[in-house]
Structure formats: structure tokens, C-alpha cells
């Protein structure tokens, strides 16, 4: 690919195809693209239609994201604050969770380490031909289904503790840190889920553990510097579809993650990177189990002209075979009707991954009339 074709002609479909081919089919990712070209304008495949762009008039000021001090998990106030935040916004930050700042810095550095590897080295992990069955790299969200690409690459890890040596071929630059981060996040996620379940007159037991946290996956999201950030999106509007996500943001990069303030409005709250904090967000499965008591929060990521950014979500969720439906405990309590039809989680996943990021379309697709 010659650099000038992409740079000069913004509307030409040949340039469009060439960029897509380079990024997606040739498995360079958007990181490969920005390393190869000195871009002064945004390549056409990344130009979002005006209604999908994030503009400053959408930002809701004066509504800070709750920051919850969880140093004493047994304090009833902690449970109250977590349940309140899960009900209202569906997103909050926790501090004093027990993971040391140096450990958080270590996993961020490990993620950067991976994306700083030579392109050929990263490409060994490309989805579909990865050297590891439990770690793979791709770009955007769903590049073969999207008319506009998202400005990010991500490496996904699956924690399959019952499978011997599932980390054998993970990249050495980050392997130890990823394993340690999974192990540190797991008990924190379990404590939050326990609080949220207790509040629904339920609990975590052997029968539902596989639904609540039968799987754990981690992303290294990488958002390169973007020549025209106002025209692009790093991650499009979506809610996470799992139960609970615990996300680490890189310190210092402001104006990236936004959460939709209310279900029906188009106002968004900035989620500031807070040193030492972990962002927790409620996913669709908890909204379904709780019959809408908890809210899975729609969120999106804006990119930056001056700095690249890394974020590291850990997604706790059901195993594929789990049947997802509102909990009987919740329905009985108020003698209410289920608001969602029951669905096998693998079918739910299929619905989500079949289309581009599109707000809360997946959960809406199973809402009962």
C-alpha cells in the first residue's frame, strides 16, 4: 500500500478498501496502520456518521461517577452504595480494593508492552490463526460486519483454569501479569456479585455460580493516537453483555470513557481515570436476572489526538450453556412478571456479536412486550 493513496483521497472507495484490507485482512490492526503511515486525516473507513460522533454538548456536567471505598467489605454502607449505584447508573468506581497501585501499573505496562511488539510478533496472535487458543488479537469490534470501523485493537484472553496449560503460548511480555491480574480481580468480582445477589434476596451458590462467573475474559484494549478524533469512535455505544465488568483505565488520559446518564436521554457522564480505582459496570445478564432492578450501562470510548490509551476490562459472565432469565426470587418478591424471555447464553452472545456495537439492542431483542 502506498501511503499517499490513503492520505489524499478521503472519499475514494479504493482507498477505503485498501485501508480495510491492510488493517483487517492483512492483520496489521489500526496500530499497524498508524505506525506505517503519517496520517493527517482520518481514513474513510473510520469516519462515523454524524449521529454516532461524540460531541461535547452530549456531556453531562456535575454528575460525578460514585467512588466507593471498599476497604471493609462487611460494612453495610458499602453494600448500600454498591446496590444504589448498580440501580441508578449501572457504573461506579471502587478504591481500596486491595490491588496495589504498582500491580495496576504493572498490568498496564504489560499491555503496552504487547502493543509495542513488532507487528509480525503481534500478528502471530491474530484471531483465526492465533498461536494460542485462549488469546487472540483483532481490531475494531466486528470488522466484517461493520460499515465503519472502530479506532482500536484488542487482545483477548480467556481464563480457563480447568484446562491444563491454557496459558502455554500466551505472549511472554505480559503472561505473568495477566495471570496475576485475573487472580486478583476474581475475589473482588465475587464480593461485588455476592452483595448484588443478596440485595435480590438471592445468593451465590453452586447452582448459579456458572451463570454469575463461570467465565472470565480480559481485554487489552489499545487506542492509538487519532488524527481526527471528533470523526471517529474508539469503542462504539454498547452495554457489556456479561454479568459484571471490572475495568482498569490508564491514568492521565482524560475524555475517553463516557457512560450514558439516563436510559432515555442522550447525555453522557465522563468516567475519569482515578489513580488506584477500578471501574465496575453492570452487564446485561445482571439486568435480566434482576428483572431491571440493576441497569446495564451503555458506554463508549472517545479517542485522542495527542496520546494513545490502554484499558483493561475483565469480563465475568456465564458459561455458554447457562439459561438466562429473571430470578424467581425477584419475581416472587413483588409478584411481578418476567420482563425478558429466557435465553441460552450462547444464543445471546451470537446476537451481540452478529452486529456492530449498537447500544442496548441485544437486551432489547429479548424484552417481553
Ligand X SMILES: O=C(O)CCC(=O)C(=O)O
Residues that bind ligand X (CB under 6 A): 219, 221, 235, 240, 247, 249, 257, 299, 301, 311, 313
User: Of the two residues 313 and 317, which places its CB atom closer to ligand X in the complex?
Assistant: 313
Nearest residue to ligand X on Cβ basis: 311
User: Of the two residues 231 and 271, which places its CB atom closer to Fe ion in the complex?
Assistant: 271
Beta carbon of residue 48, minimum distance to ligand X (angstroms, whole number): 16
Residue 158 near Fe ion by CB under 5 A: no
Beta carbon of residue 247, minimum distance to ligand X (angstroms, whole number): 6
Beta carbon of residue 334, minimum distance to ligand X (angstroms, whole number): 32
Q: Which segment (30-38, 128-136, 235-243, 262-270) binds Fe ion by CB under 5 A?
A: 235-243
- Quick one: three-class SS letters along the chain? CCHHHHHHCCCCHHHHHHHHHHHHHCCCHHHHHHHHCCCCCCCHHHCCCHHHCCCHHHECCCCCCCEEECCCCCCHHHHHHHHHHHHHCCEEEEECCCCCHHHHHHHHHHHHHHHCCCHHHHHCCECCCCCCCCEEEEECCCCCCCCCCCCCEEEEEECCCCCCCCCCCCCCCCHHHHHHHHHHHHHHHHHHHHHHHHCCCCCCCCCCHHHHHCEEEEEEEEECCCCCHHHCCCEEEECCCCCEEEEEECCCCCCCEEEECCCCCCCEEECCCCCCCEEEEECHHHHHHCCCCCCCCCEEECCCCCCCEEEEEEEEECCCCCEECCCHHHHHHHCCCCCECCEEHHHHHHHHHCCCCCECHHHHCCECC
Task: Choose the one of ligand X, Fe ion, none that binds residue 298, judging by a C-beta under 5 to 8 angstroms depending on kind.
Answer: none
User: Of the two residues 196 and 247, which places its CB atom closer to ligand X in the complex?
Assistant: 247
Task: Choose the one of ligand X, Fe ion, none that binds residue 257, judging by a C-beta under 5 to 8 angstroms depending on kind.
Answer: ligand X
Task: Choose the one of ligand X, Fe ion, none that binds residue 249, judging by a C-beta under 5 to 8 angstroms depending on kind.
Answer: ligand X
User: Of the two residues 240 and 250, which places its CB atom closer to Fe ion in the complex?
Assistant: 240
Residue 240 near Fe ion by CB under 5 A: yes
Nearest residue to Fe ion on Cβ basis: 240
User: Of the two residues 16 and 298, which places its CB atom closer to Fe ion in the complex?
Assistant: 298
Site residues (CB under 5 A) for Fe ion? Answer: 240
Amino acid at each position: 500500500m502506498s501511503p499517499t493513496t490513503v492520505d489524499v483521497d478521503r472519499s475514494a472507495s479504493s482507498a477505503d478498501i485498501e485501508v480495510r484490507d491492510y488493517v483487517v485482512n492483512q492483520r496489521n490492526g489500526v496500530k499497524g496502520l498508524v505506525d506505517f503511515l503519517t496520517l493527517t486525516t482520518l481514513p474513510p473507513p473510520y469516519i462515523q456518521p454524524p449521529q454516532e460522533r461524540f460531541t461535547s454538548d452530549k456531556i453531562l456536567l456535575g454528575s460525578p461517577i460514585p467512588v466507593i471505598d471498599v476497604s471493609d467489605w462487611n460494612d453495610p454502607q458499602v453494600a448500600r452504595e454498591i446496590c444504589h449505584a448498580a440501580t441508578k447508573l449501572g457504573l461506579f468506581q471502587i478504591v481500596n480494593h486491595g490491588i496495589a497501585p504498582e500491580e495496576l501499573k504493572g498490568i498496564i505496562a504489560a499491555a503496552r508492552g504487547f502493543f509495542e511488539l513488532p507487528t509480525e510478533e503481534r500478528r502471530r496472535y491474530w484471531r483465526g490463526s492465533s498461536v494460542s487458543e485462549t488469546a487472540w488479537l483483532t481490531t475494531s469490534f466486528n470488522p466484517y460486519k461493520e460499515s465503519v470501523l472502530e479506532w482500536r485493537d484488542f487482545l483477548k484472553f480467556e481464563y480457563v483454569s480447568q484446562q491444563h496449560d491454557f496459558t502455554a503460548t500466551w505472549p511472554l511480555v505480559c503472561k505473568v501479569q495477566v495471570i496475576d491480574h485475573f487472580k486478583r480481580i476474581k475475589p473482588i468480582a465475587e464480593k461485588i456479585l455476592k452483595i448484588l445477589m443478596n440485595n435480590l434476596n438471592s445468593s451465590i451458590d453452586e447452582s448459579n455460580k456458572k451463570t454469575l462467573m463461570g467465565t472470565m475474559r480480559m481485554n487489552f484494549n489499545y487506542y492509538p493516537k487519532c488524527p481526527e478524533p471528533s470523526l471517529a469512535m474508539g469503542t462504539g455505544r454498547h452495554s457489556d453483555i456479561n454479568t459484571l465488568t471490572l475495568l482498569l483505565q490508564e491514568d492521565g488520559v482524560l475524555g475517553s470513557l463516557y457512560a450514558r446518564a439516563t436510559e432515555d436521554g442522550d447525555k453522557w457522564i465522563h468516567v475519569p481515570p482515578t489513580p488506584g480505582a477500578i471501574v465496575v459496570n453492570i452487564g446485561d445478564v445482571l439486568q435480566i436476572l434482576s428483572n431491571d432492578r440493576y441497569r446495564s450501562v451503555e458506554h463508549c470510548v472517545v479517542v485522542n489526538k495527542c496520546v494513545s490509551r490502554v484499558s483493561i476490562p475483565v469480563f465475568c459472565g456465564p458459561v455458554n450453556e447457562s439459561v438466562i432469565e429473571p430470578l424467581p426470587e425477584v419475581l416472587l418478591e413483588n409478584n411481578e412478571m418476567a420482563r425478558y424471555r429466557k435465553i441460552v447464553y450462547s444464543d445471546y452472545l451470537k446476537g451481540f456479536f452478529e452486529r456492530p456495537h449498537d447500544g442496548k439492542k441485544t437486551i432489547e431483542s429479548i424484552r417481553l412486550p
